């Protein structure tokens, strides 16, 4: 994995990036207010019609019913220009708490999709539960599948494709890892906010 701020590869538990010193606490000071969010979809900039909203929410709900523990959130925002979007999504993921409170570390199967209208970008990030199953390149492939729709400015259709691709990928993961049990290590005591 890489540092969300400077993209330096990091292995093992670290409280802050050994290269740039980035940590969640430092990002709190940088981004300050956490945007409010709702279950499934939070459309802050009204990108979706009521029909699209309902269709996407239904698709997410179906996906979550199929995979226990999975939490998918879709959020649209109008972020300030020149913001480090990777940093922001990392911070947003941790501070919004999209999944249940006890879904930490390897039990966190949250997936967050953020659409920023300022930069005209779509971001996707996952919880630690998916860290080894949905790598950056897997997430990139899921987003790339929606490019044809995004290029036509059909954001809702693009999101539907993202969700479908995500479902297909998770199905593959489950099929390839039947009943695989991996012990989730205890968090180190030195990290205060755990």
| 40-79: contacts with another protein (CB under 8 A) | 58, 61-62, 65-70
174 contributes a contact to another protein by CB under 8 A:
yes
Q: Print burial letters for 85-100: b (CB count within 10 Å at least 16), e (below 16).
A: bbbbbbbbbbebebbe
CB of 161 vs another protein, minimal distance in Å: 11
- H/E stretch holding 89: helix 85-96
Q: Which residues within the stretch 109-128 sit at the binding site for another protein (CB under 8 A)?
A: 109-110, 112, 115, 119-128
Q: Does 106 bind another protein (CB under 8 A)?
A: yes
| Nearest of 151, 146, 92 to residue 120 by alpha carbon | 151
Q: By CB under 8 A, how many residues form the interface with another protein?
A: 91
Q: Which residue in 31, 40, 48, 130 binds another protein (CB under 8 A)?
A: 130
Can you say whether residue 37 is alpha, beta or left, with left for phi > 0 and alpha for psi between -120 and 50 degrees? beta
Judged by beta carbon, residue 48 or residue 126, the one nearer another protein is: 126
From residue 140, how far is each of 66, 84, 123, 148, 162 by CA, in Å?
Answer: 23, 18, 9, 14, 10
Q: Which of 89, 161, 163, 166 binds another protein (CB under 8 A)?
A: 89
180 touching another protein, by CB under 8 A = yes
Q: From the CB of 66, what's the least distance to another protein, in Å?
A: 4
Both tokens of 46, joined, read 């009204």
CB atoms within 10 A of CB 176: 9
Choose which of 8, 49, 172, 184 interacts with another protein (CB under 8 A): 184
Binding of another protein by 188 (CB under 8 A)? yes
Our CB check for another protein shows the closer of 49 and 66 to be: 66
Q: Which is nearer to another protein, 34 or 62 (CB)?
A: 62
Residues 144/166, Cβ–Cβ less than 8 Å? no
């Amino acid at each position: 994995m890489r540092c969300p701020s400077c993209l330096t590869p990091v292995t093992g538990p670290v409280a802050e990036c050994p290269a740039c010193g980035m940590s969640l606490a430092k990002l709190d000071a940088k981004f300050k207010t956490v945007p409010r969010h709702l279950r499934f979809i939070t459309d802050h900039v009204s990108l979706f019609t009521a029909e699209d909203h309902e269709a996407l929410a239904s698709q997410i709900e179906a996906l979550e019913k199929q995979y226990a523990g999975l939490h998918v959130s879709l959020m649209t925002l109008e972020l300030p220009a020149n913001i480090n979007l990777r940093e922001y999504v990392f911070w947003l993921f941790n501070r919004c708490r999209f999944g249940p409170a006890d879904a930490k570390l390897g039990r966190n199967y949250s997936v967050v999709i953020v659409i920023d209208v300022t930069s005209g970008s779509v971001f996707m990030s996952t919880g630690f539960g998916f860290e080894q199953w949905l790598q950056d390149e897997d997430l990139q492939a899921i987003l790339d599948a929606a490019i044809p729709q995004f290029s036509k400015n059909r954001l809702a259709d693009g999101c539907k494709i993202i969700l479908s691709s995500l479902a297909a990928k998770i199905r593959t993961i489950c099929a390839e890892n039947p009943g695989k049990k991996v012990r989730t290590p205890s968090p180190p005591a030195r990290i205060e906010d755990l």
